[in-house]
Amino acid sequence: MALSEPWIEHFIVGPLQMRCSVVTDRQSGDTIIIDGGDEPRRIIDWIDGFQGPGPNWTTGPENAAAAGEQNLPERTVVALVNTHAHFDHSGFIPELQAHYQVDWYLHPDDDFLQTLAQASGRRYGLTLPEPAVADHAFKSGETYAFGSIELKILHTPGHTLGGCCLLLSVSDGPDHVFVGDTLFAGSVGRTDIANSGGDFDLLAHSIHTQLWPLDEATVVHPGHGPLTTIGHERRTNPFVGDSAGAGGTYGFGKYA
Ligand SMILES: [Zn+2]
Ligand SMILES: [Zn+2]
């Protein structure tokens, strides 16, 4: 079931300024955390009681007083889900799991990458907990119900082997898609990161076949940088937009 007016908050966390998105069903209070990569205390304090610095770059309130005015029900975190397993997105899943005692969902093609999270974080001077192991394996094209929140999983390899975009259908507004590092406003994810299986042609193919068919008003929530929409990126993105690679280099023709 499509949600009515979902409540979405963004926490820009860690040294790589990664977007962790928190989605709440205003009717039930059911809540999911997408990409719990860093600053778990900040996320927990806000979800559980609107304490601490809270979210930023949000469609919701900038402070606790504003949040209170929204009459949100008490929130229950029902699942942790990830777009992919780079450490900036998954490094602190164990702390969120320990607090909320809920399952974590990841595409299995990123399971190996996930085992490297600690070592990757060390290169940025981060001390990460022992990497989490996913409780459930996402299957592409399937819709998963997390309490009253449903996400359709779109497998979009190219930045990592198991990268996925998570589509949230909305009944009374634009849909939302959480794309991790597959697509950015005016850019795309890197394809040169060690042990990730990055491949630009594959990434472009994933975007063309999985994202461009979405409604053009769909709000895109990238893992880094500002929000955008499917329509805007399709028209203007210099790497994968409709005018990119004129002559067929990166166009649909290559994969037809
Ligand atoms: Zn990444
Ligand atoms: Zn990232």
**Which one of the ligands is nearest to 161 CA?**
1
Enter the CATH code of domain 7-246: 3.60.15.10
Encode pLDDT of 186-225 as tens digits. Answer: 999 999 999 999 999 999 999 999 999 999 999 999 999 9
Q: Is the pLDDT of residue 114 over 80?
A: yes
Mean per-residue pLDDT for 225-229? Answer: 95
The model's pTM: 0.93
Q: How many angstroms separate the alpha carbon of residue 222 from the centre of ligand 2?
A: 9
Q: How many angstroms separate the alpha carbon of residue 124 from the centre of ligand 2?
A: 13
Question: pLDDT at position 73, please?
Answer: 84
Question: pLDDT at position 64, please?
Answer: 59
Q: pLDDT grade, residue 68 (50/70/90)?
A: low
Mean per-residue pLDDT for 124-151? Answer: 96
State how far the Cα of 173 lies from the Cα of 186, in Å rounded to an integer. Answer: 24
Q: How many angstroms separate the alpha carbon of residue 247 from the centre of ligand 2?
A: 31
Q: How many angstroms separate the alpha carbon of residue 171 from the centre of ligand 1?
A: 30
Going by C-beta distance under 8 Å and a sequence separation of 6 or more, which residues neighbour residue 243? none
pLDDT > 90: percent of the chain: 82
Encode pLDDT of 81-93 as tens digits. Answer: 999 999 999 999 9
Question: pLDDT at position 63, please?
Answer: 58
Q: pLDDT grade, residue 245 (50/70/90)?
A: low
Question: pLDDT at position 215, please?
Answer: 98
**Which one of the ligands is nearest to 189 CA?**
1
Domains of the chain by residue range: 7-246
Q: How many angstroms separate the alpha carbon of residue 158 from the centre of ligand 2?
A: 13
Question: pLDDT at position 247, please?
Answer: 41
Question: pLDDT at position 62, please?
Answer: 55
Q: Is the pLDDT of residue 51 over 80?
A: yes
* Residues lying with their CB under 5 A of ligand 1, a single-atom ion: 86, 181
Q: pLDDT grade, residue 34 (50/70/90)?
A: very high
Q: How many angstroms separate the alpha carbon of residue 70 from the centre of ligand 2?
A: 31
Q: How many angstroms separate the alpha carbon of residue 65 from the centre of ligand 2?
A: 31
Question: pLDDT at position 54, please?
Answer: 86
**Which one of the ligands is nearest to 190 CA?**
1
